[in-house]
Structure 1
Amino acid sequence: MKTITLLILLIFIFPIGFPQAMANSEIYKYVDKDGNITFTNRRVSNAEKISIASFSRNTKSSQSKPSSDLNLPRVNDTTQKNRDVMRREILQKELIAEEKLFSETRNFLDEIRNKPEFKNNSQEKTVQLKNKLLLHQRNVAALKKELGR
């Protein structure tokens, strides 16, 4: 019973201590006669012992916060308002065009569904039109969302 308990303790304690022991081991750099470099934790003749600086994950980066004093170009309020108005006009034109394409695609899809000559061979065409209709619908929704900002 004692051996089983000891074995269980070793199973749980060994993995905890092993990485720490490996991290604290010495590292050697060996350069052979051909110039090949080998790093190892075993002592080799003519090997140079190297020390590796510890790495701390708690250091704060100097670039963690962007500086607000950047030399970015400044735009006056009237110029920015003019740009916003132009952008809004462009988005409204795109919205009108997308709504027109949406209604045209929907009407064409309804025509194909109602015509008996297309019912047999229109499966692929119907799927393509439905996909196109969904695309226009998503575009309209995205443009309305952008205009709502």
Structure 2
Amino acid sequence: MRILPVLLLLLVSPLAQAQVYKCVDANGAVTYTNDRNQGRGCKQLAEDQAVSSVPAPARRSSSASQPTPSNFPRVSPDAQRARDDTRREILEKELTTEESALAEASKSLAETEGRYQGAERRLPVVQNRLQPLREKVELHQRNIDALKKELGNLK
């Protein structure tokens, strides 16, 4: 019984072949396709040639390889340190604000959940009332996580 699916697979596999074309556009970018009409400059590849579906590595932008211009404004290490310190202070204040907002939202959610007992909590009406409170708690938690990550990225 296992031989039948294998034989069917072997019979169907030749139907999965297609002509592959190598196309070069005006910028010299090479694309491989099975649709010759996609662009000009397409040439059919030999059928016995192996074709890989692994994408090419991303090209680097030309600006990344250019040196910094000599007249580019420079920031002194002390000025950069002061900027970083100011940024850290702002992020820490935001973190404190978000933590207190999370505590308030969690308290509100807990109080609202406390009003309902047992099976009553699973009613759609109750779930609809609780959902915005849960979303608010989740939002504050995501904000806290993002702020902590940002603070961790500072030097």
Q: Give the TM-score, by structure 1 length.
A: 0.55
Report the equivalent of 1:78: 78
Larger Rg: 1
Paired residue total: 104
User: Residues 112 and 122 of structure 1 are in contact (CA less than 8 Å); yes or no, is this contact kept in structure 2?
Assistant: no
CA-atom RMSD in angstroms: 3.7
Q: Tell me, in whole angstroms, the C-alpha distance in 2 between the residues paired with 1:132 and 1:115.
A: 19
1:19–1:147 CA distance, 2 compared to 1 (3 A):
closer
Per-residue CA deviation, residues 25-81 of structure 1 (Å, 9 max, x unaligned), is: xxxxxxxxxxxxxxxxxxxxxxxxxxxxx76449xx865623223632111111111
1:87 aligns with 2:72: no
Distance in 2 (CA, whole Å) between partners of 1:56 and 1:76 is: 43
> Identity percentage over the alignment?
36
Alignment partner, residue 105 of structure 1: 105
Match of 1:65 in 2: 65
Question: 1:116, 1:57 → 2: CA distance?
Answer: 64
Q: Work out the CA distance in 2 between the residues paired with 1:140 and 1:90.
A: 13
Distance 1:19 1:143 in 2: 48
* Alignment CA distance shift 1:78-1:134 (3 Å): same
CA contact (8 A) 1:105 1:132 kept: yes
| Structure 1 residues 111 and 68, CA gap change in structure 2 (3 angstroms) | same
- 2:90 maps to amino acid: I
Q: Aligned ranges for residues 1-149 of structure 1 at < 5 Å?
A: 56-57=28-29, 65-69=65-69, 71-116=71-116, 121-149=125-153
Kindly provide the amino acid, as one letter, of the partner of residue 147 in structure 2.
L
